[in-house]
Chain A
Amino acid sequence: MASENPTASEYIQHHLQNLTYGQHPDGSWGIAHGAAEAAEMGFWAIHLDTMGFSIALGVLFLWLFRSAAKKAHAGVPSGLQNFVELMVDFVDGSVKETFHGKSKVIAPLALTIFVWVFLMNTMDLIPVDFIPALAGLMGIEYMKVVPTTDMNATLGMAFSVFALIIYYSIKVKGVGGFIGELTLQPFGKWMIPFNLLLEGVGLIAKPISLALRLFGNLYAGELIFILIAILPFWVQWALSVPWAIFHILVIVLQAFIFMMLTIVYLSMAHEEH
């Protein structure tokens, strides 16, 4: 920590700082001590906490679902299989409702997004000081436990989805078809630059809005938890409990929206205009 008794703004900044590993300006590799050092590391640095938690949660998700999938049978399901089937059926239904093409990727993609984002969002419900304090005891200076409050995480997923959008657009319509879609509408071939601008913005807006929506919602939620944590301890529960209850809705909703929009964007990429 910056000091033994941090001020409110120091406390907040400390909580919003990722554990960054990268190259210091003097050429040595190591963990950044403070926001300024992390900023100096530039692009070639990595957030160990974001990566660690997201991968751990992803592995948890896959392990859980895989262990159910291995034992999946057509008889009467029970326990974990029930839950997994519920999720799979729900995602499958959502995909079939929106996406009418044939693709083996989209449904598992949607499931992964939904469960993974949900798990990462759920980290928000762990009291804001628990894990950072624990990490502090182990000598780790910074620890941001909610991967989706790191824009790198949301942008990373959104860009992957964006890559899939481009891939399917070209696969279904061909390069010419895709370029034609970007340039020849809505105003016909005499307005190509204008069309390209409009459609280009529309295309780029998809991943950016996808990433920023999730990031913004979770970042704001986390910030409010941090603000509540600044209050005297005897009044915190009066605010954090209602906010946490409300936040459960946000967590599920944002995971669902991310999944749904991914499906919608990919089904749009499959459709001819």
Chain B
Amino acid sequence: MNLNLTLFGQAISFAIFVWFCMKYVWPPVIAALEERSKKIADGLEAANRASRDLETAQEQATKTLRESKVEAAEIIEQANKRANQIIDEAKEQALTEGQRLRTAAQAEIEQDVMRAKEALRAQVSLLAVTGAEKILGAIVDEKAHSELVEKLAEEL
């Protein structure tokens, strides 16, 4: 085993290789690696943020849903109340209207009865006069006996 100049040759080439590696190989590769790890870290952080956002959004949605449910229930209750009220009002109106109609009808009926009575009375009195004429055989003077007839009609 001879030690000779190869020793220095190796040392020199070694130094040159290390220099080249340090200058042209190491920095770009390490830079790429670091940039990628930064990218990955950013990506992970973004994913975290997104999932956090999603969570809050879901919470918000649940909250909104709950609120709208309550609101809807309120609205339904109000509507029910209002409907009941309307029904009540309508009932009352119908009642009063019915009352009014009945009164009107009754008044009319009474009027009709009165009118019929009146007519009947007149006819009865006429009939009575006619009967009396027949019986008496003479024409009762309407003018002379009108007082009588009237009295009769009134008695009827």
- Whether the Cβ atoms of A62 and B25 lie closer than 8 Å is yes
State whether the Cβ of A156 lies closer than 8 Å to any Cβ in chain B. yes
The residue on A at minimum CB distance from B4 is A45
The residue on B at minimum CB distance from A47 is B6
State whether the Cβ of A214 lies closer than 8 Å to any Cβ in chain B. no
CB contacts (< 8 Å) of B26 on chain A: these are 69, 88, 107-108, 111
The interface bits of chain A over 86-121 (1 if a CB of B lies within 8 angstroms of the residue's CB, else 0) are 001100100000000000110111011000100000
- Whether the Cβ atoms of B17 and A112 lie closer than 8 Å is yes
CB contacts (< 8 Å) of A54 on chain B: these are 10, 13
Count residues on chain B whose CB falls below 8 Å from chain A CBs. Answer: 33
- Which chain A residues in 40-60 approach chain B with CB under 8 Å? 41-47, 50-51, 54-55, 58
| Chain B contact residues, majority secondary structure | helix
B59 to chain A, nearest CB (A): 36
- Whether the Cβ atoms of B11 and A157 lie closer than 8 Å is yes
- Whether the Cβ atoms of A109 and B18 lie closer than 8 Å is yes
State whether the Cβ of A29 lies closer than 8 Å to any Cβ in chain B. no
State the B residues within 8 Å of A (CB): 1-11, 13-15, 17-18, 20-22, 24-33, 35-36, 38-39
State the A residues within 8 Å of B (CB): 18, 20, 22, 38-39, 41-47, 50-51, 54-55, 58, 61-62, 65-66, 68-70, 72-75, 77, 81, 84-85, 88-89, 92, 104-105, 107-109, 111-112, 116, 147, 150-153, 155-157, 159-160
